[in-house]
Amino acid sequence: MAGSSAGRNGTRPGGPGGERATAPGRPAPGADVRPERTSLSVRARDAVRQRIVDRRYPQGARLVEREVAEELRMSRVPVREALRALVGEGLLELLPHSGVRVRRLERADVEHLYEVWEPLAVQASRLAARRVAGSAPVEPPGVTALRASLDRAEEAASDDEGTREVAAHTAFHEDIVALSGNPMLARTMEQLSGQLQLLFGMREEPQHM
């Protein structure tokens, strides 16, 4: 598994793109602080999360481990770990003696999520701006990607393709967090990622707002 090879090479989850280890609490200059996405369980988690965000797994739908494993063409072990991780993220909820289902986000959930996300997003923006200003006149890695994601977000907002707009909006915020250079902030925001994408997409589902 790719995750085990990462461990042998001395990389650290949440480090600079899995390329090299960094000192605790201080990422290397130019580091991309997105958490690693290499193991089978992480791949399964991302695939299921995307299906939830795309509403291929609608809110309230029951997910059967065996069926999800067959759909993803994986064994049940990484899928089980993925479903457990998504329960931790708040996208799935446990059902007594019958697996998991996609959680329904209600108004209170949206309010609580925004109360947590807003100060983190503001802090990420401050750190990213400070990092860019401190590296002048040379731009740190990540600025070009941020500009490109902003352009995509603006283009997506000008059409009626809701799924595309959600993806572009999410990518823009992820690029800001990556540019912040703070791996702990990146890991925290990663935990909120799926619910945020649902929140961005819920404008098309007014019955949940």
DSSP string of the chain? -HHHHHHHTT--TTSSTTSS--BTTBPPTT---PPP--SHHHHHHHHHHHHHHTTSS-TT-EE-HHHHHHHHT--HHHHHHHHHHHHHHTSEEE-TTS-EEEPPP-HHHHHHHHHHHHHHHHHHHHHHHHHHHHHTTSPPTTHHHHHHHHHHHHHHHTSS-HHHHHHHHHHHHHHHHHHHT-HHHHHHHHHHHHHHHHHHHGGG-GGG-
DSSP string of 9-40? TT--TTSSTTSS--BTTBPPTT---PPP--SH
CATH topology of domain 40-102: Arc Repressor Mutant, subunit A (1.10.10)
| Dist. CA 45–CA 69, nearest whole Å | 11
In this predicted model, what pLDDT tens digit does every residue of 50-102 receive, in sequence order? 899 888 999 999 999 999 999 999 999 999 999 999 998 889 999 988 789 99
pLDDT at 8 over 70: no
Please tell me whether the peptide bond between 137 and the residue prior to it is cis, using omega within 30 degrees of 0: yes
In this predicted model, what pLDDT tens digit does every residue of 160-200 receive, in sequence order? 555 677 777 778 888 899 989 899 999 888 888 778 777 76
In this predicted model, what pLDDT tens digit does every residue of 27-49 receive, in sequence order? 444 444 444 445 899 999 999 99
Residue carrying structure tokens 């100060």: 119
Helix 76-89 and helix 65-72, axial crossing angle in degrees, nearest 10: 110
pTM here is 0.60
Name the residue ranges covered by the structural domains of the chain.
40-102, 107-208
> Residue 55 carries which side chain, given as an amino acid letter?
R
| Dist. CA 63–CA 66, nearest whole Å | 9
